[in-house]
Structure 1
Amino acid sequence: MSKYYLLLLALVSNFTFSQTNNNGEVKTKDIEAVILQDKSDPRALEILRKVNNNYLFNSPESLPSYSYKSYEKISLDFDQDSIKAYNDFITQRIDSLKRLPERPLKATERKDSIESVQFAKLAGQSKLFLWERASEILFSSKYGEKINILDNKISGLKEPLYELMAFRSNRTQIPKEIKEENRNLYRYFLTDSLDIDGRENYVIRFRQTNYRETADKKKFTGYIYVDKETFGLKKIESNSTIENEGSITSTWIYNGGKWFLLKEDYKLKLNNNLLNTGLNPDRKKNKEEKKRDHENTKKFGQYAYATADYFDFKTNINSSSKDFQGYTIDVKNSDGTLIDQYRTSELSKREEETYVTIDSLSSKYKLDRKAKALTGLLKGKIRVGIIDFDLARVIGYNKYEHFRLGAGIKLNERFSKYISPDAYFAYGIYDEKFKFGAGVDLRTSLQKNSFFRIEYFNDVMAAGRFTENLWNFRMKIMSSGVAINNNVFYRYQGFKVSYENDLTNGLTVNVAAKKSEEQSLFAYNYKDLGNQFDISSAVITLKYSPKSKNIMTPEGKFTYEQNFPEVYFNYEQGFKGLDGNFNFSRFDVLFTQNFKTKLGVTGIRAYGGLLVGDAPIWKNFTMNGLANGRNGLNFNLTSYLGFATMEGGKYFNDRFAGTYLTHRLPWYFKSFGKNVSSFDFIYRGVIGDMKNPEYHQFEFEKLDHLYNEVGLEWNNFLSSQFNLGFFYRVGHYNTSSFKDNFAIQFKLKLLGF
């Protein structure tokens, strides 16, 4: 029972209603039959071009302000036409099992058998999962978007899942079926026009390009209805090319001169295997039982159903800054007591029974605990009671420690809403040394991200790393291998006190003071002063992410949608007067942006750093080389700011500027399987200098010419979840050896840009 429940939670935690939906009153003419060809109708492509050109103008977000409400429902169930057959099948199976001769069973086998029978009966009486959400959406061109959760109800869980509560629908996104970059994934045909709600619409049929059969108009996978006057989308219907695999329908309504999404319906087949091998498939069976199960087995498909209704549209509303204070999502109520006020249709008997049935099973199968554990995985942690285990600290690899094994724990809000201690330890296989740290967060507010932190640390780090303060989990994971071929490490031990506060939804500030003892772990001498120093400094970090969307949860702020642009700024000031050995100022900044044009999607990372004053080499900046520096092939994993062809730990500067450019070509194709592939062109460049390299008495080079590498990345390589990149070094640092200049790089797709 629980694994299927968690399967749907995993689906909806990253769920987007894919673009399409139904239920406009359609007065149709007879649509002419069309002979399928393997190229699109130019008339249909021209209409779709105008749809894209007018999309922003037709979007409600081109208005000064608006508001509306929504009611959304997600469930897990059998196909409606299969429920009676399923119940008949279960009854027959139970009767047949009763007639079998009894044989001795172990206690665990008997328990599993009883639970299997109970669950089989319950699955026929109710849905397996049900979740409802009611929201109010406000928009202002001046203040942005605000979503008020009016109520929320989920079967089997006593506490709301805030990560689920923040899932994104497609109400503001361009449907994938009409995106220009997806044109070669479909074939489009203009078939007729029809009247919908008193407005004339073009009718465009489409099918996926891998569907080559001809002549039968039923082989079309969907329809697009386009308003003739405005070229706004009225409706999209999309079906899977495989029968009963799924369907999506979306309908828009014309209101205030703009097209608002009115309704979405989504049906997706999850699997075909639930209870398809008898009532107790887990216990060992003899040959006769297996044969009998095979003969009597029937398969019943499980589907995820999602619906969304949008209503109470208002344009040009009176709004003030108070209406948009706090994070993007504000939870007004979440206990399910008000949800019936916003339902756009009554619950069916199966849906009503779901809350009763699944709630009764919740404590037995510990669904609350397992659901919380699953949402923790999305943030890189495993939750067990009051303890969160940090997955990022379990294993790592670098040139100094080689494999690094460890563990990190943090007491969560179940321990205390305001106090959260944490600790970690790690052990390096190669250096054979333990590292550890401990700290405590003291929250000052439950309405937003605001807390003091005190911590102690005794650890090692690669010299010259770019500051990662306030980076999210995905960015840090991508950058975790930046020191994989850098053996220039230093040890640091000391204390730090900091305060972090979200001044607005998009602006975070962190101020800190730290005192540490730092020592090189390589042969080094700075200005004949040795290799061990006391550092006293203050640090201020700013993060500006005006378009990212957040929600406050009992665990703290959760960014459910990271949007660009983003700016990260760090300023560290070293003090000689507070028992520190040096006065210095260290600055670094990172700017990220991602934008789309007709030529494709372009991503930019621009970053740089400056060190002024006296400081050891690890306070300077390494250039993030990932290559091994040997004669073999350069093969590495991607890094957020790393260079695939640059030797690790070779270059250090006290000032530098770098850029990472990626451009995704608007050409999408399928090799095999279900994933769609594409190509990215990538350019990485960096240049800098060092004022007094002779102060640092160890072997390194300053990078004072432009370092360039270009690459081509194949996204969803062979329909896998990995991207494969090929990179080549050009310009001043190019050598006569192909192996030195060439590198292959792997990247996990989910890491994104």
Structure 2
Amino acid sequence: MKLFCLLTLFFTLSLQAQFQINGIVNDSNNKPLPFATITTSDEHQTITDVDGKFVLESKKEFRFFIVSYIGFTPKVISITDNRKFYSIALDGKTDDLKEVIVSNENPALNILKRVITNKNNNDPQKKLRSFDYKTYNKLIVTANADSIGRGIDSIFEYDKNFDKLLIKIDSSNYKFKEIISKQHLFQTEKVSQYQFGENRLKETILGSKMAGFKQPVYEIIAFNLQSISVYDSKYELFETKYNSPIANDAAKDYNYKLLDTVAIDGRETYMIYFKNKKKIRASGLEGVLYIDQENFAIAKAVMRIKGVLDISGIHEFKYIPEEKIWFPDITTFKIVKGKNDDDIKILGGTIQFDGDAEDFFETRKKSATDFSYLVSQSNNFDIHYNTNSSIKNPSLYIEIEEEASKQPESFWKEYRKEDLDLKSQKTYLLLDSLSINKRIESRLRFGRKIINGYIPVGPIDFDLKKLVSYNNYEGFRLGLGGITNDRFSKNFRIEGYSAYGTKDGAFKYNLGAGVQLGKTTNTWLNASYTDDVREIASTTFAVDKRVFKLYDPRPINISTFYQYTSWKANVQTRIIPKTEAILELSRTAVEPKFDYLFNLDGKLYSSYVMTTAMMSIMWAPFSNFMQTPTGRNESEKRFPRFTFQYTQSLPNVLDNDFAFGKIDFKTEYEKNYLNGQKTSLLLQGGLAIGEVPITHLYNTAPNNLTKETIIQRITFAGRNSFETMYFNEFFSSEYVLFQIKHGFKRVQLFKKVNPLIVLVSRAAWGNMKNPEHHVGPEYKTLDKGYFESGIELNKIYKGFGLGGFYRYGPNQLSRFDDNIAVKLSYVLDLGL
């Protein structure tokens, strides 16, 4: 089984234990009782889930357990030999717990009001000036072998005479059970130090160990499964934020019910069940809060979402008498597949569950991998309070020490809560051996290069984007390009490309080099020379991430370019916290390849020189950044994020012809929903001041052909382009555009036809200052605004899709058909 297939198995609810029983708790009407308290004879406790089910496990056998629930008579259940499942029915009682009633209103709501009022006195990050502690974390992906059938299935099919024919023998479940009986599917360990001070929390990873990898996958190490603090107004559970059940306005979203009183750490607590008021389960949290009866602090919290995935986050606290505070002790995160009709892809498609529902053609049978689950547990120790110790690089959310992945076994024995069991030991041995035999790490590195558009060959990564493309000016553009990699040098790089256009018959090329000035801040000093062509009036941000596609559809129909030869020198760095910046000096000679003259004070320019200084900066204030031994990375991408770019010409420097300045900006926002839906917003604008030729103004990314019929205008859709706007129809010296997209979950139409529906709306406004400067092209301005909306059906079949867009508003055309654009799309899903 390939590594990425193993990673798809990330996920249900119980750790392996020596002694385990399962059961369900109902009332006398056979309705499940969620979050009933289960207490064993050795004082071990657990609670039932939202369906009344429970898993009770222990390192040693226990003789009996007690089931209790507010308003019901507790019941003692004796353990019977060889019995693993217990169905318990509780009887209601008339004397409801009057001693826990605080007032005449809902007692649970009254208690929650006191919790909210006392948050600042109970939140460690509010009450304590500073603290630090260490954490040992273990994450496993495994399955309960006892839940998997050992049978070998036969797969049959009917022929045209309706005779049943044996196709093959399916032994996958049998093999899977054999594997999971001996080892886990995946396993990681991590030791971290957390430091809090000046309202900042930082994690420093002291040691990391990942089965099958000599060099850990930092994205997995840094992934935040759940909120560290339960007192935040927004509680995050697996990439989705929910209004907290103890937020100031929580009462509008949640209903509360007092379940029981339970002793934790020798202190009495109220056990309060909360559930979101919305009908859709996945729209909010559900769970239990254990509230200290004296100071109304949280002594334990169970946060859960049960929808397409069954996800739970459990926070256990330890009472510190000298500080009079409940401090985090154990945190547990669990995932199991819920009830859903579609395949679910999360974490960029790395983790996938198959749907359970029947379709029109076949009934899906549960496979062994449906029983796989993920569980992550963190144990805190070596805790210090109000130490006033300084935090190095406090703007970083995570810092991984240089030697973290090289720690000896003695390090792990010191920090593990308990020794690894035989199954965990075998997991490291078997996955490490599998990784070596299958060259998994090298294949993973190769896969990352491919995703970014490179093929590594020895010391050079060849650029797939440079191989072939097409546009109406160059025709087929054939080329070769690449950049040196770490095998060549870690501190020096050379890059370049050459290309030839079959239609314009001209060669283009680039050659550049860079030297690393700082590894921790990803600081490079670069220089390059380029002779190439570019679309006129196009907007590019220097700090934008490289996006690789097998094809770039929009340029196919572009025919208006300018040629440029340019010398550039720049510094790119992440030295400023939560930013990426480029400072650049350049001298560029420009020659328009279309009928155009720039009129400046009566002097007509058919070509010109532009010497400029440019600063481009991307700021992601809500993202988390991680410092790894190989550099600084954005570990958790959050929105909104902002990009600002300023370009200033340098008069009388290296034959510069014009005096001007340009300000460009954009703001991006995305929200992903657990059910697969996604909303994205884009606000972008630009302002050109001074003597700016049309080649360097703005066209707001048109993507429509000037053809007579809709069929003739069918082309591939762009990413953020105006699909109904014709090429060279509008130009602006100042503009602002807004785009909103909302993608719904995929719709199952047929067995292999399940499109992703996306609604799109775009609007733009602009103006042209000094139109008399531009001689040649005819164009319109956006002073009255431009509006279009449409629908995209992406990934209809094997990545291909179709979209339709309509143009309306002040710039609507007189012919109805001319306002319609039909576009094809193609999305390559690598499943990574």
**1:8-157 alignment, distance < 5 Å:** 8=6, 25-26=46-47, 28-30=67-69, 67-77=132-142, 79-81=144-146, 125-139=182-196, 142=199, 144-157=200-213
Q: Call closer, same or farther: CA 1:234–1:468 in 2, change over 3 Å.
A: same
Q: How many Å separate the matches in 1 of 2:116 and 2:476? A: 53
Residues 66/636 of structure 1: CA separation in 2 closer, same or farther (3 Å cut): farther
Tell me what 1:342 maps to.
Answer: 415
Alignment root-mean-square deviation, CA: 5.4
| Greater mean deviation of Cα atoms: 534-543 or 120-129 | 120-129
Query: Is the 1:423–1:436 Cα contact (8 Å) retained in structure 2?
Result: yes
Residue 575 of structure 2 is aligned with which of 503, 524, 546? 503
Q: CA deviation at 1:6?
A: 3.5
What number of residue pairs does the alignment pair up? 656
- Does structure 1 residue 388 correspond to structure 2 residue 461? yes
Which structure's CA Rg is the greater one? 2
Residue 305 of structure 1, aligned match among 367, 374, 385: 374
CA contact (8 A) 1:711 1:725 kept: no
Q: Which residue of 2 aligns with 1:541?
A: 616
Contact conserved, 1:380 with 1:390, CA < 8 A, in 2?
Answer: yes
Instruction: Determine the C-alpha separation between the residues in 2 that align with 1:149 and 1:726.
Output: 49
Which residues in structure 2 correspond to 1:74-473 (within 5 Å)?
74-77=139-142, 79-81=144-146, 125-139=182-196, 142=199, 144-171=200-227, 173-175=235-237, 179=242, 193-196=259-262, 197=264, 198-203=268-273, 224-227=287-290, 234-236=301-303, 248-253=311-316, 262-266=330-334, 303=372, 305-312=374-381, 318=388, 320=390, 322-324=392-394, 328-331=398-401, 333-337=404-408, 338-377=411-450, 379-394=452-467, 396-401=469-474, 404-428=477-501, 430-473=503-546
- Structure 1 partner of 2:762: 684
CA distance 1:119–1:249, shift in 2 (3 Å)? closer
1:523 aligned partner:
595
Q: CA deviation at 1:425?
A: 3.5
Distance 2:385 2:558 in 1: 57
Displacement of 1:348 after TM fit? 1.8
Give the conservation status (yes or no) of the 8 Å contact 1:551–1:560: yes
- Please state if 1:731 is matched with 2:809: yes
1:10-45 deviation digits (Å, cap 9, x = unpaired): 888xx999xxx99964475258889xxxxxxxx9x9
Aligned mates of 2:687, 2:491 — CA distance in 1: 37
Say if 1:72 and 1:327 are closer, same or farther in 2 by CA, change over 3 A: closer
Whether 1:660 and 2:738 are equivalent positions in the alignment is: yes
Q: 1:588 matched to which residue of 2?
A: 663
Provide the residue aligned with 2:683 in structure 1.
606
Task: Tell me if the contact between 1:582 and 1:615 (Cα under 8 Å) persists in the aligned partners.
Answer: no
Report the counterpart of residue 561 of structure 2 in structure 1: 489
Please give the alpha-carbon distance, in whole angstroms, between the structure 2 residues aligned to 1:318 and 1:617: 58
Q: In 2, distance between residues paired with 1:582 and 1:544? A: 33
Structure 2 residue matching 1:688: 3-state secondary structure: strand
Amino acid at match of 2:259: S
Distance 1:370 1:614 in 2: 52
Describe the SS at the equivalent of 1:526.
strand
Specify whether residues 720 and 302 from structure 1 end up closer, same or farther in structure 2 by C-alpha distance, changes over 3 A only: farther
Q: 1:596 to 1:517 in 2, by over 3 A?
A: closer
Distance 1:639 1:59 in 2: 48
Q: What SS does structure 1 have at the residue aligned with 2:518?
A: coil
SS in 1 for 2:762: strand
**Does the aligned pair in 1 maintain the 2:618–2:643 contact within 8 Å?**
yes
Q: CA deviation at 1:379?
A: 4.3
Separation (CA, whole Å) in 1 of partners of 2:741 and 2:109: 25
Query: Is the 2:665–2:684 Cα contact (8 Å) retained in structure 1?
Result: yes
- Could you tell me which runs of 5 or more consecutive residues in structure 1 were left unpaired when the two chains were aligned: 35-42, 90-117, 182-186, 212-221, 271-297
8 Å CA contact 2:710–2:820 kept in 1: the answer is: no
Q: 1:413 & 1:323 partners in 2: Cα distance?
A: 27
Tell whether 2:704 aligns with 1:627: yes
In the alignment, the residues of structure 2 paired with residue 587 and residue 601 of structure 1 have an alpha-carbon distance, to the nearest angstrom, of 33
2:725 to 639, 646, 650: 646
Check whether the contact 2:591–2:607 (CA below 8 A) recurs between aligned residues: yes
Report the CA distance between 1:366 and its aligned residue: 1.8
Instruction: Judge conservation of contact 2:400–2:629 (CA < 8 Å) in 1.
Output: no
Alignment-derived partner of residue 56 in structure 2: none
Unaligned runs of 5+ in 2: 14-34, 38-43, 48-65, 73-88, 91-105, 153-174, 229-234, 245-252, 319-323, 339-366
The one-letter code matched in structure 2 to 1:135 is S
Q: CA deviation at 1:731?
A: 2.8
Structure 1 position 169, deviation (Å): 1.8
Q: Percent identity?
A: 23
Taking the aligned partners of 1:426 and 1:334, their CA distance within structure 2 comes to 43
Deviations 1:310-369 (A, max 9, x none): 524777763646451557434352224334443334322121122233333443322221
Paired AA for residue 71 in structure 1: Y
| Contact 1:16 1:167 survives alignment (8 Å) | no
Report the alpha carbon displacement of residue 442 of structure 1 after superposing the two structures with TM.
0.4
What is the SS of the residue equivalent to 1:169? coil
Q: Is the 8 A contact 2:397 2:625 kept in 1?
A: yes
> Structure 1 residues 75, 742: CA separation in 2 closer, same or farther (over 3 Å shift)?
same
Whether contact under 8 Å (1:16, 1:169) holds in the other structure is no
Q: In 2, are the aligned partners of 1:571 and 1:587 still within 8 Å (CA)? A: yes
**What per-residue deviation string (whole Å, max 9, x for no partner) do you get for residues 95-136 of structure 1?**
xxxxxxxxxxxxxxxxxxxxxxx9999876444443222223
Checking the alignment, whether the CA contact within 8 Å between 1:74 and 1:304 is kept in structure 2 is no
CA distance in 2, matches of 1:170, 1:469: 34
Go from structure 1 to structure 2 and tell me whether the alpha carbon gap of 1:640 and 1:545 turns closer, same or farther (over 3 Å shift). Answer: farther
For 1:642 and 1:66, the matched residues in 2 are separated by 50
Task: State how far apart, in whole Å, the 2-side matches of 1:347 and 1:538 are.
Answer: 58
SS of residue matched to 2:519: coil
Q: Please tell me whether residue 7 in structure 1 is matched to residue 5 in structure 2.
A: yes
TM-score by length of 2: 0.65
- Provide closer, same or farther for how the CA distance between residues 205 and 611 of structure 1 changes in structure 2, counting only shifts above 3 A: closer
Q: 1:264 to 1:119 in 2, by over 3 A?
A: closer
Q: Which of residues 692, 697, 703 in structure 1 aligns to 2:781?
A: 703
Alpha-carbon distance, 1:397 to partner: 4.8
What CA distance in whole angstroms lies between the structure 2 residues aligned with 1:510 and 1:228? 51
**C-alpha distance in 2, partners of 1:682/1:554?**
41
CA distance in 2, matches of 1:16, 1:141: 38
Structure-2 change in CA distance of 1:10 and 1:81 (3 Å): closer
Measured in 1, the distance between the counterparts of 2:648 and 2:461 equals: 34
**Alpha-carbon deviations, 1:123-174, whole Å to 9, x = none?**
76444443222223445565x4422112111223323333333323222543
User: Aligned pair in 2 of structure 1 residues 9, 555: CA closer, same or farther (>3 Å)?
Assistant: farther
> With CA pairs under 8 Å and 6+ residues apart, which has the higher RCO, 1 or 2?
1
The 1:354/1:501 distance shift into structure 2, 3 A limit, reads: same
